[in-house]
Amino acid sequence: MKLAKISMGALLLSGTAMTAQADSDATELHFIMCGGEIRAADQAVVDQFVADNEGVTVNLEAVPWGTCQDKSLTLAAAGDPPSIAYMGSRTLRQLANNDLIVPANIDPETPYQPGVLNTVTIEGQAWGYPHAFSTKALYINCDLVEEAGMECAAPATWDDMYAMAEAVTNNTDAAGVGLAGKDFDNTMHQFLNYLYSNGGVVIDPVTGENKLDSQQTRETLEFYGSLVAVAQDGPTAWERDQLKDLFNDGQIAMYVSGPWGYGQHNEDINQLVVPVPSGPSGESGSILITDSIVVFKGSGHEGLAQELAQRITSGDSQYDLDSSWGLTPILDYAAMGKTDLYYESGIWPTFTASIQTGGPEPLVEDFKSLQSVFTNMIQGIILEDDTVDNLVTIAGQELDDAL
């Protein structure tokens, strides 16, 4: 077990079956739930699972994101891994490469939305059961746009978005757009929303080949850098969640966020939610991010844990979580026969439309290294430290080292 290779900051986990003998001796499953809370939909599945398995209990432990993944790894390194966990999919490759998790046994007939399984799959093998899913969209403060003398309508292209942001910057007291540039993971996410809206690819999902050094990336980085002129002051000090505060304070007219943003904005804001505009080489897309239910290796309860993972991520159970939590639907529930779907009205069609054209959060063994590849490139263009060509070339080389 190559634990020295694992970063203690962010990790993830998945599942397969052991022997019936091991399961017959099991009495307690340790289930770590990252995020610090247990959703009612998940609790209901756990309660039913316990009722259906005589002599089995589930120790369901909610742990805040800041310490959750470190705790899970520490337990695994000490030879006492949790049986099952809910964690971010981004570090599945780390855990799989270090032999800490077992493959997920996903029914190939499960109607996942397009691209979802790419967020948990490494060279054809799924390592987690997708359980929470998000896409992104552009939020616009229509009052600021109209104050600037423009119609508040969805910008179809990057040029349209820039023109709207420039008008706000020049004709109001607000900045046109909120720009993330801080050394933080969602700075990479913000950039990838634009890259995937320009036909770009980071890692080929089939071959694992590095595709970052491309014309699409150059176009995206050039556009991202151009937004500095119409953004809030000092973008390198800001991450996405802080942009929400600027939006609420009327200091920026636009920024990219997930569906949860709608309910986090002040009620007096006349907000419009639209697709991320398309670049010159692509069509509107989004980063596709999931969290997963995963099964640790060596707990002695892998079979039971696998069964629980399958239950909690399937059918009615998953729909209850998606609809109650306000998540982008992770399954095609219409194909499963469900009607009156929550995501067919309101803002939801904007967030579901980008599923088809979105791309996954890249899976590498060292997520911090991946984050640095993008942060170095993005901060380089924001601070005008180097040319677009050089920054993308260097980023491609750095990604080779991270793979």
Q: Which two tokens stand for residue 92?
A: 């599945």
Instruction: Tabulate helix, strand, coil % of the chain (nearest 5).
Output: 45, 15, 40
Task: Give whole-number Cα distances, 288 to 197, 217, 352, in Å.
Answer: 12, 18, 11
Domain assignments of the chain as residue spans, ordered by start: 3-133+290-351, 137-285+366-402
> Model confidence at 207, in pLDDT bands (50, 70, 90)?
confident
Query: How confident is the model at residue 352, as a pLDDT?
Result: 95
Please give the CATH number for the structural domain made up of 3-133+290-351. Answer: 3.40.190.10
Architecture of domain 137-285+366-402: 3-Layer(aba) Sandwich (3.40)
Query: How confident is the model at residue 348, as a pLDDT?
Result: 96
Helix H or strand E encompassing 396:
helix 388-402
> Model confidence at 308, in pLDDT bands (50, 70, 90)?
very high
pLDDT in tens, 210-250: 999 999 999 999 999 999 999 999 999 999 889 999 999 99
Q: What integer is the mean pLDDT of 248-258? A: 97
For the chain, give the percent of residues with pLDDT over 90: 80
Residues 212/399, Cβ–Cβ less than 8 Å: yes
Cα 48 off chain centre by? 29
Q: Which residue has the higher pLDDT, 90 or 307?
A: 307
In single-letter form, the type of residue at position 397 comes to: Q
